[in-house]
Chains A and B, each alone.
Chain A
């Protein structure tokens, strides 16, 4: 039990579908993150929410739309994806950054997405 859960664990979708990935953390954290891991590439940070406010958006295409309704839940809404979007999508959480003291990130198990 990592304290961060993600659903679904596997998802196959067509390019015209709309789906959502869900992340939930049970660690009392107030910052959450979406990462993308493509084959043979390092993890890429997509979005950061701190105190339910989006604080970082790393030039992610608009077909990916995040939503953070509260500090425990994070969604990634997907629509009109491309085959190159197939990847492992990882959610993480931590305490929000509040000065020089760093914060450890804890990861969920990931959602493996295949876009056909």
Chain B
């Protein structure tokens, strides 16, 4: 099956700093989403981005499908950004199967 790897696995940022999270996948995909899981375990949908670039406030994401990676940018980080960030992909041709990456655990310190 498709492999999804995220980097870095752990990240500690000072409040106000910027960061880039990466998601690599091993096969072509027709669906890619970024999620934020807060410390209480709730998954929040950030972006649906199978290709191109999107921005939402301090967050933006870019997916280069032909090169099989996606990036999530966090600017001016805040303590509320802490948690785990997952990317999830659905491989082309796969009916409903979604594969999650291993996640990046982010801690933003004041």
Contacts and interface: CB of A to CB of B under 8 A. Distances in A.
Interface of A: 2, 31, 33, 37, 42-45, 48, 50, 55-56, 88, 90, 92, 97, 100, 102-107, 109-110, 112
Contacts of A44: 100
A42 B102 contact: yes
Interface residues of B, number: 25
Main secondary structure of the interface of A (DSSP, over half): strand
Interface of B: 4, 30-31, 33, 35, 40-45, 48, 50, 86, 88, 90, 95-103
B27 to A, nearest CB: 15
11 contacts: A33-B96, A45-B99, A48-B97, A88-B41, A102-B30, A102-B31, A102-B90, A103-B31, A104-B33, A110-B42, A110-B43
A92 B35 CA distance: 13
